[in-house]
Amino acid sequence: MSKPLRLILFDVDGTLADSQGAITGAMAEAFEGAGLNVPPREAILSIVGLSLPLAMRELAPNHDDATIEALVEGYKSSYMLSRQAAGAAHSPLYPGAREALAQLHEVPEYLLGVATGKSQRGLDALIDAHGLNCFVTRQVADHHPSKPHPSMILTAMAETGADPDSTVMIGDTRFDIEMGRAAGVTTIAVPWGYHDAATLGADYLIRDFAELRPLLAEIWKE
């Protein structure tokens, strides 16, 4: 008898890919281009995972809609240009990420997906740059409310036929974990990203990607 399908969802920035240099660089150019002081690095990393308009409102709370829009467009332009110039080096994968994805992709009942604050264009470019052709569902900021709203996970489950008991959300920020909790799925935090993993309140915490497959087997009693 075949095993039930399992859906494994990953955040991207701070979980699969180390894009903090690209993010902080583009954010600095956006704020400088708008004539504003650049927020501290810690503040910038604290909003990773939010949709861009919401992130900019967090970083520039006292500015009008026109300024927020200028910041968003400035960020998008800077990020795209730096990505085109750097290719895969723009957002390198974390150690063990590629191997973990390949191993999980080999398991017939495992379905892999992403739930990310990146745009469709940004996600497609990253997947193409690294050759990550293993995701059956790709949920991006263009089509959903910002994290931690559960829309991305709910849509991914609907697309794949998975239920909450058969789904996990893996991420590095409180937005990822709160999104997973709101969707009623199991949450797994990683400590190499942009928020303090010990404070996220995830169901599980892995220290490196090598721990992921054994943990999933334990969660699903395989």
* pLDDT tens per residue across span 136-166: 999 999 999 999 999 999 999 999 999 999 9
**Same domain for 73 and 111:** no
Residues of the chain under the 50 pLDDT cut: 1
Q: Are residues 157 and 198 in the same domain?
A: yes
Note whether 31 and 110 are same-domain residues.
Answer: no
Single out the residue in 66, 89, 112 at which a domain terminates. Answer: 89
Q: Look at residue 2 in the predicted model and tell me its pLDDT.
A: 60
Same domain, 152 and 167: yes
77 and 105 in a single domain? The answer is no
Q: Cite the DSSP H helix spans in the chain.
A: 20-33, 41-46, 52-59, 65-86, 97-105, 120-130, 151-160, 174-183, 212-219
Last residue of a domain, one of 70, 89, 108: 89
Task: Please state the domain count of the chain.
Answer: 2
Residues 142 and 65 occupy one common structural domain:
no
Residue 115 and residue 77 share a domain: no
8 A C-beta contact, residue 27 and residue 49: no
Residues 48 and 78 in one domain: yes
Note whether 26 and 41 are same-domain residues.
yes
36 within domain boundaries = yes
Classify 11 as helix, strand or coil: coil
pLDDT of residue 85: 78
The pLDDT of residue 172 is 96
Burial of 20 (0-12, 13-18, 19+ CB in 10 A): middle
Same domain, 155 and 205: yes
Question: For residue 1, what pLDDT is reported?
Answer: 47
Residue 222 C-beta-side C-alpha neighbours within 13 Å = 16
Q: Both 115 and 179 in a single domain?
A: yes
Q: Does the pTM of the predicted model rise above 0.85?
A: yes
Q: What is the pLDDT of residue 87?
A: 72
Indicate which CATH number applies to the domain containing 120. 3.40.50.1000
Q: What is the Cα–Cα distance from 39 to 156, expressed in whole angstroms?
A: 34
CATH number of the domain residue 26 falls in: 1.10.150
| Residue at which a domain ends, from 89, 112, 144 | 89
Residue 6, Cβ density class (10 Å: 0-12 exposed, 13-18 middle, ≥19 buried): buried
- Answer whether residue 1 is part of any domain: no
Is residue 119 assigned to a domain? yes
- The answer to whether residues 125 and 211 belong to one domain is yes
Cβ(116)–Cβ(180) below 8 Å: no
Residue (of 79, 58, 57) closest to 66 by Cα position: 57
- Peptide linkage before 148 cis (omega within 30 of 0): yes
Contact residues for 4 (Cβ-Cβ < 8 A; gap 6+): 109, 166
Enclosing domain of residue 39: 20-89
Short-list 59, 93, 89, 91, CA closest to 74: 59
Task: Please tell me the distance from the alpha carbon of residue 5 to that of residue 35, in angstroms, as a whole number.
Answer: 51
